[in-house]
Amino acid sequence: MRKSRIAPTRMAATARSLIALVVGMTVGVSAARGQTSQTTLPATGDVMRGWRVFFEKKCVDCHAVWDHGGRVGPDLGRLRTGRLSGGQLAGVMWNHIPKMLGQMQHTGRLPTTLSQQDMADLFALIFFVRQLDEPGDPVRGEQILIRKGCGECHSTDSSEGSIGPDLAQWGKYANPVVWAQLMWEHAPMMEEAMRRSGMTWPKLEGTDLVHIVAYVRSAGISGEKTYLRPGSVGQGLSLFHEKKCDTCHPGSGPDLAASADLPTSMSALASRMWNHSPEMTRVMREQAVERQPISAQELADILAYVLLLGNLDRGGDATRGERVFAQKGCVQCHNHEEMAEGGPTVQRLGQDAAPVDMAAAMWNHGKTMLEQMTEAGISWPVFNEHEMVDLLAYLKTAESEAGGTTGD
Amino acid sequence: MKDWLDLNRREFLVALGAAYGAAATGLAAPRSRFLEYAGDDEAPRERFINAMCPMCPGGCGLKVRVVHGCAVGLRGNEDHPINRGGLCSRASAVLQDVYNPDRLTKPLKCVGGRGSGKWEEIDWDTALGVITDKLSTLREQGKPHAACAVMGRDRGLTRAAWQRFMRAYGSPNMVDLHPEDNMGVLPAVLATHGARQRLGYDLAETSYVLSFSSGWLDEHWSMEQAARGFAEFRRGRPGFRPKWIHVEPRHSLTATKADEWIPIRPGTEGTLALGIAHVMIREGLYDRRFVAEHGSGFDDWTDRDGVSRTGFKRMVLQDFAPAKVQTVTGVPEGAVFRLAREFSTNRPALALGSDGGGCGAAATYDRMAIHCLNALVGSIDVPGGVTLFRDLSVLQADFDVDDVASRGLLSPPLDGPAQKRRLSDNAADLLIDSLASSKPYPTEALFLVDADPVFSLAEGPRFGAAMAAVPLVVSMSAYHNDTNRHADLILPQLHALNRWDFNTGHTLKGHPVVTVSNPVMKAPPDLLSPYDTIRRIAAGLGDPVASALPWEDGQQAVDAVCRELFAGGKGAAFGPANEESWAQLLESRGWRAPFSENFDDFKRDVLAGGGWTDPIYFHREWDRVFRSPSGKFAFSSAYLAKSFEAIPEATESAVLARRCLPICRTDQRRHDQAYPLELYVYSLPNLASVASPNLPWLNDIAGAYVFEKWRTWVEIHPETAEHLGITKHDQAEVRTARGRLVLPVKIFAGVMPEVIAIPFGLGRKEGGRWCKGIGENPAVLVDAQADPLTGTALWTQTRASVRRV
């Protein structure tokens, strides 16, 4: 297999500039009622390495990432809408193991072994690509602009006379975050102009913004594009405080980390900022919080940090996990004692009770497990959204109650 | 059998000489002198070095296996976005070119008078001294424009250096001998888009291709890429089979791979395209929204004087009804209807005209007509359609010139007045008249840079005769060729594998690519690279000409290229496919995560990977795609209208307005008693457009698909042959108004009845042992007509007769 030409030092540099899911990185986030807790970020992977693993381990043969790759399995960029934590991702993988193995057998592919680091890198990749958006559809973008009444103030054909800036000039901004930053910068003026004109603040939904960007890019001036570096979580965390975002979040606003409907993509989050802009302006005015200037790159960092919070597992319930363990029949193969024909003990499983480690173990042993379960007439259990998280909590508890280490 | 690595150096050199001389031909060949120099390197025993294929303008990446300092094997560079590890048949002959025993090794001076074929070896200082003396004198006399350079197929550093040199020296006369190679469709794009850019074809995403004598798999300007594009078209989407319809007078290699071949009379492809447009418009099958939003000149329009002018729609509906098209093209009326309906309903669909390569050019109006089909189905700058290449130039930074050069650059060009080539910067065919007549001024020094116009042009012999009027003729050529006979000096060329070089190009999807090439072997001591040659000439002239070429050698020039690319801040060095996908994934969404943090890293990666690319293309950037005055696709060319306004012709304005539309033939060719047949000259795959044909491997395979080699033949349809009483083992005399040839007959159902086909690529009077005197050059038969918009000779209008001898 050919090696990537990226030298380790460059990999490290690139990783820093990407979504640095750093080992053991701990950040302070505030709980819903102003209490402070320590939350450990869930993954220890590197996005660029994840991309390489994705190719080198042949995941790309079956899966695509935003259309780059095979079409047998789901596109990892479009894996699932809504929030997806590490534990949930491990659950999704577990549920699909029989299907994946069946497909691989059908197409003559052999499962490749993934180390824990490989799996961590793949997790990091999946979390990152979910933040990206569809490239956008110019036709839909045009319809959205018309529907939202943006044309009342903005032109898109370099014509003069519009109230707001001609959006054609923004054709060079291919990144929706740049748009969000420009809108953030101009929001007070826009609010005032719209108030005077008696217009209501248009709300952007879902992927509206990427389609608008695609339309303006196609209708506007080509020129050289303005690109951003993928946001840095570490920088984002610093900026979150530096730019006084934490004055309102979670000071008097919703707790970002706990917000169940936190958007999963950059543009959706940017749209959320836009939609709440008048309210944000009002609250900031009331609390005498000055609107901080934010560059596009700074905003990308902040959004990367906020989006990462959406990947956090919200503490599973060990009691519920124990019930899941029993109900799903796990106990038939895994017990507190070594079983002659069974799998590892509960305590042993507890050592791998982090989502990434559990996913790696499941992947590497999935074929054997499936064969043994089929032979024993046991059906493959399916976990719902929270069950895997609870199960992991139970296994972790069982492992710690047993004294931390067991087995070999 | 022993591997190269198991041999000692002596055994190695003997074996290598035998392998590349005798093995390829079955003949005993002398050991190449080039081996001795190359084999000096004893250091690492085996290496794989990135290089660039010099065989065509495509610029594919090579990985050369070097043992004991000698190149012993080639494979494609897997990371190169153009060839992705593949090699075409021409690239496979590179080593025969490197070690060719007929390559020239010393500068030669003609001693027996031009045409005598008598040469004397001279040293470089003497040769370059003659040139600088002449050029110095011309500049002192205020006549720098009297120098003219005819450029061959080199597109990289050599071309960039000559462009800078000619500008600094003060001559506007740098003429491309093969403008077709790199920009076959460019004049049509200029007419319809107002932009001087080539088109890319997104075959991987398209559903239906109408190919009009495109030569896609026969003689594309980037053969390996064309083949890869075709493979992606065919196999890229499991469960879906797109359709390829090929229209051409002859069942070519492209036709064999198509779903359907439709024979057509030579030179009438544009007429068929407009017939298809007729049906699309009449039946309302065209993309109304695209035409309304991004088209101009489709409907009738009113000029500044308030006079109504005919639009594309009216012209097509009036003049190109399928029944009429059948009489002109020979394509049945029913087929015209069917093609129009299939083309309209299987989108995205593509119409391909000839995009370069091959002999002669297709008429610009025909190409405009074919490209209008792309506009009619809205396949402009959308996935699965045509793309317009983004600008890509390196080492083109502007610089000041002195007064002498400024005045010289304002002189009228030698390759014809603007009236004769409104859509082209180059017309080598028109240069002949200037050379012969000394008008608008005499040519005092003529440089042929890897160019052989006497063989390549339809009126090559006339070019040779016209060279007699030029006091100094210098040919820079690796081999003897037909043009060298008329030269005073021949300067040999260092092979591409011995020098630093680069090439600029694009992938079919429109991604810019810069290939860089390291020397893979030690250079023979008596040879200069093309860059070193022109730089020493410039140095001999002193400043300001010398300072136009500031890089001491090719390595420094490549370094400068890397600096420009790094400063551009886009794209990345070639890397594995996953890295390219990564860059695409990010850039398409407005993100960038460059692999190289600083210039040194960047340069190291570019050299290690073999080049640079920016693997992203943004569709629907209409202001970039349409630079015509209307900012739209011009069904009626506003660019031509402006040209007619600026450079008037003694014709009525109504006629001129009509000349802005794609005018294609509407008349049936009249029967000619003396010459009842039509002659179709086609390019012999692999041989017609290589820089040197002195390669036994290519001669061996050139006609393989019709079971012919090492000779020129005439193809006749069985019905025509029967009518003429000719059988397959006969010799036939082919006669035209221009000349005659006696050729062996090939009875071939793959050529249209009443049309005869002859391959172009053989028949050189001079050259190495594997090309001199082999076959015939059909150019002697061609009754070439000048394209009214580019001045380029059209080879498709010749009538012929055939009789058994």
Count CB neighbours of A40 within 10 A. Answer: 11
The per-residue pLDDT for B667 is 83
| B350-377: average pLDDT | 83
Out of A131, A154, A180, a domain closes at A131
**Strand (E) or helix (H) holding B354:** none
The secondary structure of residue A228, as a DSSP letter, is B
A36 touches chain B (CB under 8 A): no
Out of A90, A109, A131, a domain closes at A131
- Over residues B468-485, the pLDDT tens digits come to 999 999 999 999 999 999
The per-residue pLDDT for A252 is 45
**Cβ atoms of residues B717 and B748 within 8 Å:** yes
Residue A227 placed within a domain: yes
A143 touches chain B (CB under 8 A): no
Chain A partners within 8 Å of B618 (Cβ): 174, 217, 222, 225
The per-residue pLDDT for A6 is 38
A178 touches chain B (CB under 8 A): yes
Nearest residue to B124 via CA among B533, B434, B590: B533
How many Å apart are CA B768 and CA B248, to the nearest integer? 33
Phi-psi region of B402 (alpha: psi -120 to 50; beta: other; left: phi over 0): beta
Under the banding of pLDDT at 50, 70 and 90, the label for residue A352 is confident
- Over residues A355-385, the pLDDT tens digits come to 888 888 888 888 888 888 888 888 888 888 7
Indicate if the pLDDT at residue B22 is higher than 50: no
The per-residue pLDDT for B437 is 93
How would you write B475-487 as a 3-class SS string? EECCCCCCCHHHC
Chain B partners within 8 Å of A175 (Cβ): 589-591
Under the banding of pLDDT at 50, 70 and 90, the label for residue A35 is very low
Closest approach of chain A CAs to the CA of B624, in angstroms? 6
**A391 shares a domain with A351:** yes
| Lookup: tokens for B601 | 């890293």
Nearest residue to A47 via CA among A311, A241, A257: A311
- Using DSSP's 3-state secondary structure scheme, residue A364 falls into helix
Helices (H), B244-392: 253-257, 269-282, 288-294, 312-319, 322-329, 333-345, 364-376
| B748-770: average pLDDT | 93
- Over residues B240-250, the pLDDT tens digits come to 899 999 999 99
**Cβ atoms of residues B52 and B58 within 8 Å:** no
Beta strands per DSSP E along B417-471 = 445-449
- Over residues A43-86, the pLDDT tens digits come to 467 777 888 888 888 888 888 888 777 878 888 888 766 778 88
Residue A340 placed within a domain: yes
Lowest mean per-residue pLDDT among A30-34, B323-327, B381-385: A30-34
**Cβ atoms of residues B428 and B177 within 8 Å:** yes
**A360 shares a domain with A250:** no
Under the banding of pLDDT at 50, 70 and 90, the label for residue B363 is confident
Domain count, chain A: 3
Residue that wins the pLDDT comparison between A387 and B372: B372
The secondary structure of residue B182, as a DSSP letter, is H
Beta strand pairing status for B243-247 and B208-212?
A: parallel
The per-residue pLDDT for A222 is 65
The secondary structure of residue B168, as a DSSP letter, is H
| Lookup: tokens for B522 | 């030690």
Q: List the domain range (segments joined by +) for residue A249.
A: 134-308
**A160 shares a domain with A292:** yes
**Cβ atoms of residues B419 and B646 within 8 Å:** no
Under the banding of pLDDT at 50, 70 and 90, the label for residue A405 is very low
**Cβ atoms of residues B383 and B348 within 8 Å:** yes
**Cβ atoms of residues B552 and B585 within 8 Å:** no
The per-residue pLDDT for A408 is 36
Indicate if the pLDDT at residue A8 is higher than 70: no
How many Å apart are CA A242 and CA B258, to the nearest integer? 64
Q: What is the dihedral of CA B477, B483, B485, B488, to 10 degrees?
A: -60
Beta strand pairing status for B714-716 and B633-634?
A: unpaired
Under the banding of pLDDT at 50, 70 and 90, the label for residue B27 is very low
Residue A207 placed within a domain: yes
Indicate if the pLDDT at residue B398 is higher than 70: yes
Nearest residue to B702 via CA among B757, B761, B745, B773: B761
The secondary structure of residue A57, as a DSSP letter, is T
Residue A90 placed within a domain: yes
The per-residue pLDDT for B23 is 43
Q: What is the ipTM of this complex?
A: 0.79
| B594-598: average pLDDT | 74
Bond prior to B101 in cis (omega within 30° of 0): no
Residue A297 placed within a domain: yes
**A295 shares a domain with A325:** no
| B187-207: average pLDDT | 91
Residue that wins the pLDDT comparison between B106 and B57: B106
A229 touches chain B (CB under 8 A): yes
Query: How much of chain B exceeds pLDDT 70, in percent?
Result: 91
- Taking an 8 Å cut-off on Cβ atoms, the answer to whether A228 and B592 are in contact is yes
A220 touches chain B (CB under 8 A): yes
Beta strands per DSSP E along B213-282 = 243-247, 260-262
Under the banding of pLDDT at 50, 70 and 90, the label for residue A159 is low
Query: How much of chain A exceeds pLDDT 90, in percent?
Result: 1
The CA-atom distances, in angstroms, between B470 and each of B110, B420, B437, B789, B795 are 15, 23, 11, 28, 27
A10 touches chain B (CB under 8 A): yes
Indicate if the pLDDT at residue B598 is higher than 60: yes
Q: What is the dihedral of CA B163, B165, B168, B170, to 10 degrees?
A: -80
How many Å apart are CA B505 and CA B197, to the nearest integer? 12
* Mean pLDDT of chain B, nearest integer: 88
Residue A33 placed within a domain: yes
- Using DSSP's 3-state secondary structure scheme, residue B43 falls into coil
- Using DSSP's 3-state secondary structure scheme, residue A311 falls into coil
The per-residue pLDDT for A106 is 82
DSSP per-residue codes, A136-161: --HHHHHHHHHHHTGGGT--SSS-S-
- Over residues B624-654, the pLDDT tens digits come to 899 988 889 999 998 888 888 777 766 666 6
Chain A partners within 8 Å of B622 (Cβ): 218-219
Residue A1 placed within a domain: no
Residue A182 placed within a domain: yes
**A165 shares a domain with A123:** no
Lowest mean per-residue pLDDT among A109-113, B162-166, B591-595: B591-595
- Taking an 8 Å cut-off on Cβ atoms, the answer to whether A5 and B577 are in contact is no
A17 touches chain B (CB under 8 A): yes
- Over residues A116-146, the pLDDT tens digits come to 899 988 988 888 888 888 778 888 888 898 8
Nearest residue of chain B to residue A213 (CA atoms): B589
**Cβ atoms of residues B794 and B267 within 8 Å:** yes
How many Å apart are CA B595 and CA A14, to the nearest integer? 7
How many Å apart are CA B441 and CA B146, to the nearest integer? 7
Under the banding of pLDDT at 50, 70 and 90, the label for residue A28 is very low
- Over residues B171-181, the pLDDT tens digits come to 999 998 876 55
| B414-428: average pLDDT | 85
How many Å apart are CA A370 and CA B270, to the nearest integer? 64
Which of A114-123, A196-205, B142-151: highest mean pLDDT?
B142-151
| Maximum C-alpha span of chain B | 84
How many Å apart are CA B487 and CA B570, to the nearest integer? 45
Phi, psi of B802 (to 5 degrees): -135, 135
The secondary structure of residue A27, as a DSSP letter, is E
Count CB neighbours of B120 within 10 A. Answer: 11
Structural Rg of chain B based on CA atoms: 26
What residues form DSSP beta bridges with B512? B506
Contacts of A321 by beta carbon, 8 Å cutoff, 6+ apart:
A387, A389, A390, A391, A392, A393, A394, A395, A397
The per-residue pLDDT for B286 is 97
- Over residues A226-260, the pLDDT tens digits come to 788 888 888 888 898 888 888 877 654 556 666 65
How many Å apart are CA B482 and CA B149, to the nearest integer? 17
Nearest residue to B255 via CA among B748, B662, B666: B748
**A322 shares a domain with A379:** yes
The per-residue pLDDT for A385 is 72
Chain B partners within 8 Å of A135 (Cβ): 588-589
| B39-52: average pLDDT | 72
Which of A137-146, B32-41, B301-310, B578-587: highest mean pLDDT?
A137-146
The per-residue pLDDT for A180 is 85
**Cβ atoms of residues B369 and B467 within 8 Å:** no
Chain A partners within 8 Å of B575 (Cβ): 4-6
Out of A131, A147, A162, a domain closes at A131
The per-residue pLDDT for A361 is 86
Nearest residue to B791 via CA among B490, B501, B431: B431
In chain B the first and final C-alpha atoms are separated, in Å, by 51
| B540-544: average pLDDT | 94
The CA-atom distances, in angstroms, between A100 and each of A51, A103, A372, B404, B604 are 20, 5, 17, 74, 41
CA B34 to chain CA centroid, nearest Å: 29
Indicate if the pLDDT at residue B132 is higher than 70: yes
Structural Rg of chain A based on CA atoms: 24
How many Å apart are CA A159 and CA A172, to the nearest integer? 17
Nearest residue to B421 via CA among B364, B359, B355: B364
Phi, psi of B505 (to 5 degrees): -165, -170
Phi, psi of B637 (to 5 degrees): -70, 110
The per-residue pLDDT for B26 is 41
| B739-743: average pLDDT | 96
**A98 shares a domain with A38:** yes
Closest approach of chain B CAs to the CA of A331, in angstroms? 42
The secondary structure of residue B591, as a DSSP letter, is B
Indicate if the pLDDT at residue B327 is higher than 90: yes
Under the banding of pLDDT at 50, 70 and 90, the label for residue A15 is very low
The per-residue pLDDT for B461 is 92
Indicate if the pLDDT at residue B290 is higher than 90: yes
CATH number of the CATH domain containing A344:
1.10.760
Walk me through the domains of chain B, giving residue ranges and CATH numbers. 4-98 (2.20.25.90), 108-179+410-548 (3.40.50.740), 199-388+637-658 (3.40.228.10), 677-804 (2.40.40.20)
Choosing among A128, A224, A227, A303, which should be mutated to test the B contact, i.e. which has the most B CBs within 10 A?
A227
Closest approach of chain A CAs to the CA of B561, in angstroms? 19
**A105 shares a domain with A145:** no
**A343 shares a domain with A267:** no
Indicate if the pLDDT at residue B6 is higher than 80: no
Under the banding of pLDDT at 50, 70 and 90, the label for residue A41 is very low
The per-residue pLDDT for A281 is 84
**Strand (E) or helix (H) holding A240:** helix A233-242
Q: For the sheet with B572-573, list strands across it.
A: B501-506, B512-517, B611-613, B572-573
The per-residue pLDDT for A350 is 77
Under the banding of pLDDT at 50, 70 and 90, the label for residue B46 is confident
How many Å apart are CA B5 and CA B44, to the nearest integer? 11
**A165 shares a domain with A303:** yes
Residue that wins the pLDDT comparison between A8 and A108: A108
**Cβ atoms of residues B302 and B309 within 8 Å:** yes
Indicate if the pLDDT at residue A279 is higher than 90: no
| B376-385: average pLDDT | 94
- Using DSSP's 3-state secondary structure scheme, residue B555 falls into helix
Under 8 Å CB pairs connecting chains A and B tally to 98
Chain B partners within 8 Å of A56 (Cβ): 578
| Lookup: tokens for A243 | 């730019």
**A93 shares a domain with A183:** no
What residues form DSSP beta bridges with B46? B67
**A155 shares a domain with A111:** no
Contacts of B718 by beta carbon, 8 Å cutoff, 6+ apart:
B747, B748, B749
